């Protein structure tokens, strides 16, 4: 066989070149439908390639993969485990289009809510979906969980969205785990929930626990807190999310660097993130110059074994403690250092 006649292996591209997508994490090769190829050439989907899945912590860790990489991973899992449901496949590719820059980092600021923005962006693609025989209302219902699918959220149970997130994050952070392709061979779906054997469930439980610990870590809280503080200052009081939600990560950082109110602090954060620190929040009002990062609920789920979720070996608290993020030269930082 000559070089000119040798078959060309699929590429791990994000544009659907040649009608295939090879996922470098799972090893899946997905034959893309005409609709999926068309969606990969729309701005709502392309923009996800410029939004870090990890959010602000992508600036201080090696977890730098994009929302588009994750969305293509979820599409590959749906295609591999759940076949040819065109609506669910489209929803897999579109499930994150509502995210603002830096993903979850800015949620709640000036009304930013990807659960509101996402359906609106999907509906704006209604003509394209309809031209390929897919009803946009079905896609929106799939994303909300109103329509049964492999993407329907189940509280406390691993879905394909969780699965890709846990494993992709574990690879980025160097956590020990079996090769993802081997792990995938042990997985099936039961009513849209990941099902496996006891050994596979234990692997997923360890990865889920590691992801929870990562989200609670001081490094994650620090990056989130600093960026939220800078964005609040840039937007000013009473602002709406309009100038922000459609940006890419790079556009947001560029805007923060340009603005005289945030430029120096943004440059300092990018240069020396540890100029800030994280301390436990105290009762009462938040001091000036301090960003409160609410702990919120745990991002915690389990796979099914024989129809039942693998039980937790250690109870997981419902909520995480609130934290303050502040400059190390802030008076509160010195007070916190003196606390027992």
**Of 221, 224, 183, the residue nearest 204 (C-alpha):** 183
**8 within some domain:** no
| Predicted local distance difference test score (pLDDT) of residue 10 | 60
- The pTM of the full predicted model, rounded to 2 decimals, is 0.92
The pLDDT score that the predictor gives to residue 188 is: 93
Domain final position from 152, 182, 216: 216
In which domain, by residue range, is 284 found? 221-338
d(CA 36, CA 92): 10
Q: From CA 304, how far away is CA 316, in angstroms rounded? A: 18
The total domain count for the chain is 2
Q: In this structure, is residue 2 part of a structural domain? A: no
Query: Is the same domain home to 33 and 147?
Result: yes
The pLDDT confidence band at residue 2, using thresholds 50, 70 and 90, is: very low
pLDDT, position 33: 96
22 and 169 both lie in a single domain: yes
Q: What residues have CB less than 8 Å from 34, skipping those under 6 apart? A: 132
Do 252 and 115 belong to one domain? Answer: no
Residue 29 covered by a domain: yes
Asked if residue 126 belongs to a domain, the reply is yes
Planar angle of CA 327, 322, 214, nearest 5 degrees: 85
Q: Are residues 230 and 208 in the same domain?
A: no
pLDDT tens digit string along 131-164? 999 999 999 999 999 998 989 878 888 899 999 9
84 domain residue, yes or no: yes
pLDDT at residue 157 in the model: 87
Q: Percentage of residues in the chain with pLDDT exceeding 70? A: 91
Tell me the three state secondary structure of residue 288.
coil
Specify the pLDDT at position 241. Answer: 83
Q: Tell me if residue 189 falls in helix, strand or coil.
A: strand
Residue 36 covered by a domain: yes
Residue appearing with tokens 């006891």? 198
Is 122 in contact with 247 (CB distance < 8 Å)? no
Tell whether the torsion through CA atoms of 81, 119, 158 and 22 is positive or negative: positive
Of 340, 218, 338, which Cα lies nearest the Cα of 277? 218
Burial of 260 (0-12, 13-18, 19+ CB in 10 A): exposed
- 23 with 141, same domain? yes
* Sign of the alpha-carbon torsion through 179, 26, 103, 189: negative
- Residue ending a domain, among 159, 192, 216, is 216
Can you list the alpha helix ranges (DSSP code H) found in 20-159? 34-39, 43-46, 67-82, 86-94, 114-123, 126-131, 136-144
In this predicted structure, the answer to whether residue 226 has a pLDDT above a threshold of 90 is yes
Residues 35, 16: contact at Cβ < 8 Å?
Answer: no
Domain boundary pick from 173, 193, 216: 216
pLDDT at position 336 is: 64
152, 282: one domain: no
CATH of residue 122's domain is 1.10.3210.10
Provide the mean pLDDT of the chain: 90
The pLDDT value recorded for residue 3 is 46
* Predicted local confidence at residue 183, as pLDDT: 96
Q: Is residue 3 part of a domain?
A: no
For the cut 50, the answer to whether the pLDDT of residue 339 exceeds it is no
Q: Are residues 242 and 167 in the same domain?
A: no
Residues 64, 169, single domain; the answer is yes
């Amino acid at each position: 066989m000559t070089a000119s006649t040798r078959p060309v292996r699929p590429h791990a591209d994000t544009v659907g070149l040649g009608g295939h997508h090879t996922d470098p994490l799972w090893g899946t090769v997905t034959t893309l439908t005409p609709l999926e190829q068309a969606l990969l050439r729309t701005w709502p989907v392309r923009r996800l390639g410029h939004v870090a899945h990890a959010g602000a912590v992508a600036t201080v860790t090696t977890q730098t993969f994009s929302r588009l990489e994750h969305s293509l991973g979820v599409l590959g899992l749906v295609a591999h485990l759940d076949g040819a449901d065109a609506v669910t496949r489209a929803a897999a590719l579109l499930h994150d289009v509502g995210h603002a820059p830096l993903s979850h980092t800015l949620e709640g600021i000036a009304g930013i809510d990807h659960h509101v923005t996402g359906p609106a962006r999907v509906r704006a693609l209604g003509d394209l979906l309809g031209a390929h025989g897919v009803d946009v209302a079905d896609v929106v219902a799939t994303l909300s969980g109103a329509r049964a699918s492999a993407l329907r959220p189940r509280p406390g149970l691993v879905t394909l969205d969780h699965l890709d997130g846990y494993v992709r994050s574990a690879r980025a952070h160097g956590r020990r785990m079996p090769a993802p392709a081997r792990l995938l061979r042990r997985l099936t779906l039961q009513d849209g929930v990941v099902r496996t054997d006891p050994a596979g469930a234990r692997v997923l439980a360890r990865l889920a626990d590691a992801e929870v610990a990562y989200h609670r870590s001081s490094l994650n809280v620090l990056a989130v807190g600093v960026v939220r503080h800078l964005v609040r200052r840039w937007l000013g009081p009473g602002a709406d999310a309009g100038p922000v939600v459609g940006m890419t990560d790079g556009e947001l950082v560029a805007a923060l660097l340009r603005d005289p109110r945030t430029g120096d602090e943004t440059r300092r954060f990018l240069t020396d993130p540890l100029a800030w620190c994280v301390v436990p929040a105290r009762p009462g009002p938040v001091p000036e110059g301090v960003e409160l990062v609410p702990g919120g609920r745990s991002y915690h789920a389990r796979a099914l074994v024989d129809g039942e979720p693998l039980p937790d070996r250690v109870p997981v608290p419902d909520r995480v403690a609130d934290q303050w993020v502040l400059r190390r030269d802030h008076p509160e930082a010195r007070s916190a250092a003196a606390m027992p």
